[in-house]
Amino acid sequence: MSIFDRLFRIGKAEANAAIDKLEDPAKMAEQILRELRSNYQQAIQGEAEIKALALQHRASELKARNTASEWEKKTNELLDRIESKQLDEAKGNELATKAAEAHQAAENEANQYAKMAEKEESAVAVMDLKIKQIRDQIAETESRAQLIQSRAKTAEVSERINKTMSSVDTDGLMATLNRMDQKASAQEFRAAAYAQIDDATMSAEQEINKVLGTGQQSNALEAIKAKRTKLLN
């Protein structure tokens, strides 16, 4: 394999990868739906134009056949006059021949219009099937587009959440939380230790008063209360 072939393949692969990144599933589904609807409208318009031509050619056929009938009637009338001696035979045959030729020309014209109309009607029948297929494809695409949009939205939200969660150092956060818990416990233990140290440095009297709930402050209060009682008596 030449270097140019390899470079071409590498470039092609990179281009395909870039296109894949640009292709949004929901947007692409909507684009496909728009294209199908556009094709449907074009098919409907084309079918209408062909139907119009078929109707026009059928009308022209009918007109030509009416003309042919009129010329056939005139031909028969000329032949009747020749047979009844109302018209010179030579002159009558000449006129009858011209009328018959006009009849044949009108018949040929009518047949041509009929053939064109038949082809157009056949084309319309085929287009009817194609249009039905496109209509069915549109219905299917609408349903699939809704599912794709829903799936794409769910995937987008999930991807964003997972990407956010993947960037969070959960282990580190929990480790920090554990350290804070340990520090709080250590502070509680130190506070309890200081309380025990305070109890150890109290005198016997202080310790007894603490246990009994008595002290200088309470004795002083009792003295004032006793003095107030004496004054009132």
Same domain, 155 and 225: no
**Do 86 and 186 reside in the same domain of the chain?**
no
Residues 112 and 215 occupy one common structural domain:
no
CATH value at residue 86: 1.10.287
**Whether residue 86 is found in the same domain as residue 197:** no
What is the pLDDT confidence band of residue 41, given thresholds at 50, 70 and 90?
A: very high
Q: What is the pLDDT of residue 161?
A: 77
In tens, the pLDDT along 132-166 reads: 999 998 998 888 888 888 887 887 777 777 776 66
Q: Quick one: pLDDT band at residue 174, thresholds 50, 70, 90? A: confident
Same domain, 113 and 220: no
What percentage of the chain carries pLDDT values higher than 70?
73
One domain for residues 118 and 187: no
Residues 162 and 200 in one domain: no
Q: How many residues are listed for the chain in this entry?
A: 233
Same domain, residue pair 214 and 133: no
SS (H, E, C) 18-81: HHHHHCCHHHHHHHHHHHHHHHHHHHHHHHHHHHHHHHHHHHHHHHHHHHHHHHHHHHHHHHHH
The predicted model gives 206-218 an average pLDDT of: 57
Domain final residue pick, 138, 168, 198: 168
Q: Which domain holds residue 163?
A: 3-168
**Helices (H), ranges, the chain:** 3-22, 25-83, 89-166, 170-200, 204-212, 216-232
Tally of structural domains, the chain: 2
**151 and 211 housed in the same domain:** no
- The percent of residues in the chain predicted with pLDDT above 90, rounded, is 41
Asked whether residue 116 falls in the same domain as residue 157, the answer is yes
| Together in a domain, 129 and 209 | no
What lies within 8 Å, CB to CB, of 36 at 6+ separation is 134, 137, 138, 141
Q: What is the mean pLDDT of the chain?
A: 80
pLDDT tier for residue 123 given thresholds of 50, 70 and 90: very high
Pair (164, 193) in one structural domain: no
pLDDT at 155: 76
Picking from 168, 203, 218, the residue at the C-terminal end of a domain is: 168
Question: What is the Cα–Cα distance from 46 to 122, expressed in whole angstroms?
Answer: 14
CB-neighbour burial class of residue 118 (10 A; exposed 0-12, middle 13-18, buried 19+): middle
- Among 168, 189, 204, the domain-final residue is 168
